[in-house]
Structure 1
Amino acid sequence: MQLTTATGYARALSPRLVVGMATTSHDVRAVQRLRYRVFVENLGLTALKRADGLDSDEFDEHCDHLVVRDVDSLKIVGTYRLLSPAGARRLGRVYSENEFDLGRLNGLRGRMVEAGRACVHPDYRGGSVLMMLWAGLLDYVRRQHCDYFVGCASISLADGGHNAVAVYDTLRRTHLAPAEYRVTPHLPFPHEKLEAARTAQVPPLLKGYLRSGAWICGEPAWDPDFDSADLFVLLPLANMDARYARHYGVEELAA
């Protein structure tokens, strides 16, 4: 079986899964149902609860939706919402601006893709789906002729926020962006008022970004709807380690 995007890019990755772009309104509704299942039914985010069982907002119609399918059932089991520079121009903003002042990044807007709403079906967790989404995301960035990927990486506050404090305290020492790329949260997460957990447990998605060369761009924002502390992440593709790029089959991104 091959990894295939809507543009025809293909590589063998998995005998059961295939990644590509949603191409129909039926696909988009399936994406929204999956997001609802994960965010509302599994994670209990009641602020997103809706009678139609869909997680949707005004951004969906302006975004491209990366999906991973089970080839036997054709069920969508993973997704990423991708906002291209053209989509951001139509909207007049990116989603992250709900949480952060991105004024210092104005010069990058024409060269950056924003990714968000990443989720994987509970029955398909374990690495393969996330790896395929990540590879598909990087291919999409390249095909948009962009140099940067941006997005919000969420850290659950289910433990009272102690792990979020530990993660931020660790990453600001090791992965903080240069000053010219710093952003400011509209609603800061009060990390200085909480005790850090003894060991920082970095979420898998954020860990993958950091291993690829991403930076965090300042203090976390508090997202009450998702019960999370969110870090704004910026990945210049020039930062990507060549060995890590080869792992995902996208060597050209590290060139």
Structure 2
Amino acid sequence: MIGLNKGRYRTRLAETPEDLRAAQELRHLAFHKTAGLDADAFDAVCLHILIEEAASRRLIACCRLLPLPSGAQIGQSYSAQFYELTALASFDGPMVELGRFCLHPDVHDPDVLRVAWGAITAYVDAAGIKLLFGCSSFAGTDAQAYHDTFAMLSARHLAPGRWRPRVKAPDVFRFAARLRHRPDARKAQAGLPPLLRTYLLMGGWVSDHAVVDARMNTLHVFTGVEVAAIPPARKRLLRAVAG
């Protein structure tokens, strides 16, 4: 379902403790710029997608998926530590949380992201997923550096009221309430993390506030994509890679 071979890259699920450790090592390098292990209790209950160079089998990207049968289990997600997600408890249908998405710091080929999304798409289709969600992270904790991006998100991409997360974390930036200016379009786009940019191209929406995560040195927003609302042209592109 997830195994793809696309040009220079291949994707597969982690199958062994060694596979998981390799993913945890890559995550630590990507997130903290040092050697170590990025690990938590969610690793044991997630599926881990590995993206490797086909020739060398070197791990260059990874992410994890936490499947949930419906919104009734949303409180079991990683995101629920930071956001009050009661509104999504009534979501009817399978959902999956995408987390810990990262690339090796030395890898800059955009095809890696494309292949990773192909593997995620293959899983979403096979599992009948109705909602893809997670936390989209901005580097650093200086919200002012992203004011134009946050203003654009507030104006165009807020979650529907019926699903909108509420504040739970102790340190947040309430950008929807605080930013009323017209954003500079160039700066707004430049500030978008690649993962969030992909979410938005699929019709994704975000929380009205960003969580300040000092431990990870990031700001992040809750992000959701309702699979039924993904534009048909975007679905065709994703499925072409997944096929």
Does TM, normalized by the shorter one, top 0.5?
Answer: yes
Partner of 2:225: 235
Deviation, 1:197, is 8.3
Aligned Cα root-mean-square deviation (Å): 2.8
Name stretches of at least 5 consecutive residues in structure 2 with no aligned partner: none
Partner of 1:103: 86
Partner of 1:46: none
Partner of 2:173: 189
Counterpart residue identity of residue 167, structure 2: P
Q: Is residue 74 of structure 1 aligned with residue 57 of structure 2?
A: yes
| Contact 2:148–2:183, Cα closer than 8 Å, also in 1 | yes
Give the stretch that moved more between structures: 68-77 or 198-207: 198-207
Name stretches of at least 5 consecutive residues in structure 1 with no aligned partner: 43-51
Deviation, 1:202, is 1.0
Identity within the alignment, %: 28
Deviation, 1:22, is 1.1
1:18 aligns with one of 10, 27, 32: 10
Deviation, 1:57, is 0.5
The 5-angstrom pairing of residues 135-214 of structure 1 reads 135-157=118-140, 160-187=142-169, 188-189=172-173, 191=175, 192=178, 199-200=187-188, 201-214=191-204
Deviation, 1:147, is 0.5
| Contact 1:78–1:129, Cα closer than 8 Å, also in 2 | yes
Counterpart residue identity of residue 184, structure 1: R
How many residues were matched structurally?
A: 233
- Structure 1 CA distance, aligned partners of 2:92 and 2:80? 12
Counterpart residue identity of residue 213, structure 1: G
Q: Deviations along 1:53-72, whole A, 9 cap, x unmatched?
A: 21100000100001101112
Q: 1:183 to 1:90 in 2, by over 3 A?
A: closer
- Structure 2 CA distance, aligned partners of 1:181 and 1:92? 14
Q: What SS is found at the alignment partner of 1:19?
A: strand
Deviation, 1:90, is 9.1
Partner of 1:125: 108
Q: TM-score, normalised by structure 1?
A: 0.82
Counterpart residue identity of residue 217, structure 1: S
Give the stretch that moved more between structures: 107-116 or 22-31: 107-116
Q: Indicate the structure whose relative CO is greater, using CA pairs within 8 Å and at least 6 residues apart.
A: 2
Moved over 4 A (4+): 88-92, 195-198
2:45 aligns with one of 62, 66, 73: 62
Q: What SS is found at the alignment partner of 1:249?
A: helix
Q: TM-score, normalised by structure 2?
A: 0.85
Partner of 1:48: none
